[in-house]
Amino acid sequence: MNNIADIEELHGSLEISDDDTKWYAVYTKSRHEKKVARKCINNDISYYLPLQESVRHYKNRVVTFMKPLFSGYIFCRCNEDKKRELYQTGHICKFIEPLDQAQFLNDLQQIRGVREKGFKLFLHSYLKRGRRVKVIRGPFKNFQGIISHRKGKYKLVLNINLIRQAIAVEVDINDVDFVE
């Protein structure tokens, strides 16, 4: 895996650590997400970089590649020394520390869960309010989010509150329960 294009989505694990490391949303310079991921691998820093397939059509060829799902963001678990090392790469604009590590990790784990299941997901506008639901059956059982209804289709919207971005997947309205 020497090519920057062959970067993994997850290095390490999406878990809270017992040591002095914390999870951060790392805002990178434009199109530097994979370079930061490569630096994380080289320095044994856990990261999560959700990727999505992108297809470009040119005159005489079609090119398929993986690009970051959340443009400009990679999620890293590191301590202060490792943060300093990452800053020195020149690829990072800022680290955003969540107030609630457990909630932030839950958000990331749900995104990863959708990605692992292989279902089509959509970037969605961040929802500040709406009806909260829990999926009670089907492939997304136990996932929680906000239900969105548009053009006869229902979508489960999964927010990442820290960066105010979201994704959505289609669900059957009969597979969800409304929660308070």
| The pLDDT value given to residue 15 | 94
Write out the chain's pLDDT in tens, 180 residues.
Answer: 556 667 999 999 999 988 899 999 999 999 999 999 999 999 999 999 999 999 999 999 999 999 999 999 999 999 999 999 999 999 999 999 999 999 999 999 999 999 999 888 899 999 999 999 999 999 999 999 999 999 889 999 999 999 999 999 999 999 999 997
Mapped onto helix, strand or coil, the DSSP state of residue 103 is helix
Are 158 and 166 within 8 A, CB to CB? Answer: yes
CB contact burial 30-43 (16+ within 10 A = b; e otherwise): eebbbbbbbbbbee
| The pLDDT value given to residue 83 | 96
| The pLDDT value given to residue 4 | 67
Domains defined along the chain, listed by start: 4-97 (3.30.70.940), 122-178 (2.30.30.30)
| The pLDDT value given to residue 46 | 96
